[in-house]
Structure 1
């Protein structure tokens, strides 16, 4: 059934309007929606587990009981199975642009039960930008985070205010192949973490970064009883008489593999060395020496998180804009063609034939009807 001229004009306007709206949506979705999606979610809860794989790397732990025993020198256990667990959540204050991250982390030796196997425990809080991952300045001008490594008499964590600088638990959305500042929890300072190479982990592209925390006297960092000990020389197992005071030193080589689109940490590895010494460049008694690596379930879980966010960014950043753009262009062209074609139901130009007025030639070259006269008829 042929459409009337008025109906055609209405349909053409609707198609043009719909096409224009879809084209605008195709432009606005990447610039507006993606910018809102490209942030760390506020319902974040991540548990990561790292252990020391049996690959021949040293795994040495100081037996703390040997330090307090009546006889014998300090004993360092070999080939100790270790597991490090970190539980990360989002706490208040958090809003559309910033989030407060709290991470509780423990390191245990699994060959001992309960508290006897606990080696270290820390709680870390920091407020970061949800897009860049960098710490933000506190509103009151004070430290933007806190760290607890000790407990009070009630067993509650003692949170020390600490200014955090540099990345820590996530990298920026759109991580680049460059050097970033990275915050080391033990030294409470930031150091350069450098891009090393591109690597595939379970078929996922990642950027490999590495940083080295220099040898640091931990007794100058945190007021913990274990960061400086005074014991007889014999207990330390060194020559000399009388008591000798040794601070605890720390160094670490940290490797991280980052999914660049989302900034997700896919894999982590730390080569930690804690030791007691009178001079930082001459280790004397090992407290901890081990390589800790994310276990396979943790890696798979982090990959799943990264892929879910990649799919969201791809949907709103590429797929929907392309679909809306193509449909918008088709609707726009159809509307313009329908409006300009101006054809009737037979496909011919819809001209209106105007009847000729009486007594004169009809418009458009048509003559008015005339009376026929018989010339042979006589009056």
Structure 2
């Protein structure tokens, strides 16, 4: 009759196979799956809000004949970032509409600056790729092609304590963003970077009439009466950002911005905008949530799942091998008795040994019988 597989023979190979499978999973997940998670999502739709107070030039006062700079003006800067085409598994194209306005005035009278920036970025490094990109800063003119050469809206995954190029949409150029320190925001570890932008001649960046003006000296508030004085608009900025390093999400940002009219760079004569503007609390909280979600996914797939799979694989493999070895020893220690005659003493039906019988002496002689007759 054919042998049947018993559980003790079937289970060990199954356990060994499962153990090997989980060990392979533990190795492959960090190699292949984490890389897919460390990419900028293709469904971006992010609004960030920054607020502050500062000095603002009342542009209407220039036409009235005397420059007036309002003090302690409440300001709000808003930026809305969305995903556009072309975007694919490696590249994401983002469009960011940004505005700066004074909230003490309504409608267009409160709008100070507005730009639409468009750029294609590598989804891992967050650095620009082709096409070049564009910026529209004048509502009555189309967007201009502008080379983008640095980071902007997020840092790379696994950000380092080093200097990165960071692109400024006002200056239309990249400047060093230097690592300062490792610190924390609401218990989350972040890297603090800072960037200093020296005086930039905005008339050389955007040929707008507002970036170089010739007005009477009296209008500018300097000596010279009616003598025309040409003033150039300059831009300076000190930018501080705080980055969650695992995801590259910018948790907090602040700018100490200064735009002014002057006859020489670095010598302000009439402020256009001078203010410190930073992310409001809601934006910081939202960015913290984005970073934490990204960290949790990367940690789950990159560490937790491989560790659990690896431990489970080792346990299953060990149990399977132990059961396999025990099963082998049990098989070798068991005797199999075959059916057939034995060489031991025979037994009677009652189970007691049957007596030996000597067939050589146990004979019955037949004595022939003869018939006796009388004669």
Residue 21 of structure 1 deviates from its aligned partner by 1.2
Q: For 1:120 and 1:297, how far apart are their aligned partners in 2?
A: 23
Instruction: Give CA-to-partner distance per residue, 1:273-315, whole Å, 9 cap, x none.
Output: 0000111021111111000010001000000010011110011
Q: 1:203 aligns with which of 183, 187, 190?
A: 187
SS of match in other structure, 1:327:
helix
| TM-score normalised by length of structure 2 | 0.88
Q: For 1:350 and 1:100, how far apart are their aligned partners in 2?
A: 73
Residue 343 of structure 1 deviates from its aligned partner by 6.6
Matches within 5 A, 1:181-200: 181-200=165-184
Q: 1:164 aligns with which of 148, 157, 172?
A: 148
Q: For 1:84 and 1:215, how far apart are their aligned partners in 2?
A: 22
| Larger-gyration structure (1/2) | 2
CA contact (8 A) 1:111 1:117 kept: yes
SS of match in other structure, 2:127:
coil
Specify the alignment match of 1:352 in structure 2: 336
The reply on whether 1:299 has 2:284 as its aligned counterpart is yes
Q: For 2:215 and 2:158, how far apart are their aligned partners in 1?
A: 51
Q: For 1:252 and 1:145, how far apart are their aligned partners in 2?
A: 23
| TM-score normalised by length of structure 1 | 0.88
Q: Which moved more, 1:238-247 or 1:179-188?
A: 238-247
Q: For 1:353 and 1:89, how far apart are their aligned partners in 2?
A: 81
Residue 374 of structure 1 deviates from its aligned partner by 5.4
Residue 369 of structure 1 deviates from its aligned partner by 5.1
Specify the alignment match of 1:26 in structure 2: 26
Q: For 1:375 and 1:246, how far apart are their aligned partners in 2?
A: 145
Please list every run of 5 or more consecutive structure 2 residues that lacks an aligned counterpart in the other structure.
347-354, 364-375
Q: For 2:213 and 2:135, how far apart are their aligned partners in 1?
A: 22
Specify the alignment match of 1:61 in structure 2: 56
Specify the alignment match of 2:88 in structure 1: 95
Q: Which moved more, 1:129-138 or 1:299-308?
A: 129-138
Specify the alignment match of 1:151 in structure 2: 139
Q: 2:107 aligns with which of 110, 114, 122?
A: 114
Q: For 1:181 and 1:347, how far apart are their aligned partners in 2?
A: 71
Matches within 5 A, 1:69-80: 69=64, 71=65, 73-80=66-73
Runs of 4+ residues over 6 Å off in structure 1? 375-378
Residue 233 of structure 1 deviates from its aligned partner by 1.2
SS of match in other structure, 2:337:
coil
SS of match in other structure, 1:190:
strand
The reply on whether 1:273 has 2:258 as its aligned counterpart is yes
Q: For 2:40 and 2:4, how far apart are their aligned partners in 1?
A: 55
Q: 2:249 aligns with which of 261, 264, 267?
A: 264
CA contact (8 A) 1:342 1:349 kept: no
